Each structure stands twice: as structure tokens, then as C-alpha cells.
Amino acid sequence: MKTILSEQQLALTVKRLAHQILENNVSLSDTVIIGLQPRGIFLSDRIVHELRNIVNPGLIQYGKLDITFYRDDVRKSLHIANATDIPFSIENRKVVLIDDVLYTGRTIRAALDALLDFGRPSKVSLCVLIDRRFNRELPIQPDYAGKTIDTFVSQKVKVCWKEKDEVDEVVLI
């Protein structure tokens, strides 16, 4: 087991990602942030918390998206659906999708399909904590990445959050 991000590094990475999103979306009035259920929510909650410390919290529109029934492997195994909570329109808005790990790209493809049920955004950006860049099966790349790593297919990236795992860290197993 190898530590990729310690607790301190994870906190700094979240702050940096929040600032990068704000840098490219100065007026959050036409931007919405959507975290992917279930694991992307821990990262998106923290990024939104950071943004609320920087700008007027009323400017931030934040939703959560479940992609369970949009996955291409939903028939192969049993998946438990999570709640989708997008209380606003994404029509002609900039969407920043947030997830913890970008691996094959299939989760993001499913998220893009699911998003279309809520309108047609003017632009979709992707923010991930960890980009496993050499394992992509689809042509999907992040606009914001906390850390880019090279891994073997046999390795796993585990993102631990205090809220769920009692510790903040990212490890390679």
C-alpha cells in the first residue's frame, strides 16, 4: 500500500481545485456544480464548501447526480441507486461534474447521458481528485485533476474520507 495523498495534501488539493474552478468560472451565475453519487459527493461537498468561503454562497448552485441506471454494466451486477438532487435547470448553463477517480471513463460517459435528462448544458467540465490516465477506455479527459498517476490495471486507488472512513487519504493498493 502506497500513500498518494496524505490528509494535508488532500486538503490542499481540494482548495486548489476550488480555486481553479473559480478561476475558469469567475461568474458562477451561469455555472452549476454537480457531484456524482456516491463517491464523488465527498469531494464535491468539500469543493463547494471551499467556494462558499470565497464567494457569495448564494451564487453557488450545487446538485448531486446518480448514474446507476445509465451505467453500461447495470445488467451485470446489482447496483443500489442513490438520490439525485438537481433542483435547478442546467439548460444552457456551464456544468462542472465532480468525481473522485477517473479510471476507464465509463462512469463519466454515463453521467453525460444522465445529465441530458435535466437539459442541454452549454458546456460540461470534469473535475476529479485522481486521474488514472493510462487506463482510459473512452476518450474522456479531466479539465481539473488533483493528481495524475500511472497505475497498472491490477492496482486499485482507494480514496478515504473522514466522513466515511474516519481518515482523509488516498492510497494505491
Residue 75 in domain: yes
Domain-embedded: residue 2: no
So what's the pLDDT on residue 73? 66
| Residue 28 lies inside a defined structural domain of this protein | yes
Q: Is residue 36 part of a domain?
A: yes
Phi/psi for 170 (5° steps) reads: -125, 130
Q: Say if 35 falls within a structural domain.
A: yes
Confidence (pLDDT) at 27: 80
3-state secondary structure at position 166 = coil
For residue 9, the model assigns a pLDDT of: 98
* pLDDT at residue number 107: 94
- Running along the chain, 173 residues long, what does each successive block of 10 average in pLDDT? 97 98 92 95 98 94 93 62 88 97 96 94 98 94 97 94 96 96
Greatest Cα-to-Cα distance within the chain, rounded to the nearest angstrom = 44
According to the model, what pLDDT value does residue 80 have? 64
Domain-embedded: residue 161: no
122 in any annotated domain: yes
Determine the structural domain holding residue 50 and report its residue range. 8-150
pLDDT value, residue 68: 86
Place of cell 460517459: 109
Residue 126's H or E segment, with its range, is strand 123-132
Q: Which amino acid, 47?
A: I
CATH value at residue 93: 3.40.50.2020
- Total domain count, the chain: 1
- Is residue 34 one of the residues assigned to a domain? yes
